[in-house]
Amino acid sequence: MRTAAGKRVRCKVDTSRRVRIPAALCRELNIHPGDTMLVRQHGITIEMRKAETSCILCGSETDLLTVGEDPICQACYNKIRNSAGKSAR
């Protein structure tokens, strides 16, 4: 089984509509049982990725806010907000 990015892997849908992600792909993408996945439809394609559980900018795991689909921490939010305010002047 090849799991390098862009390669297709066949996965069966079980009777509960669950899809088993190949172990090699889970290892490659650091996906573990219990992780939350983000699933999105693009026409007939389903995109799936691991939901981030830490700030996507600094990696902090505290004071998280969700912006769109991804979390950022309050400190990074404040930095962005302050720099946006300065450039608008």
Q: Which residues bind Zn ion (CB under 5 A)?
A: 55, 57-58, 60, 73, 76
Shortest Cβ 56–Zn ion spacing (Å): 8
Shortest Cβ 55–Zn ion spacing (Å): 3
Distances (CA, A) of 87 to 81, 82, 83: 10, 9, 6
Shortest Cβ 78–Zn ion spacing (Å): 10
Instruction: Using the minimum distance from each CB to Zn ion, give the nearer residue, 1 or 84.
Output: 84
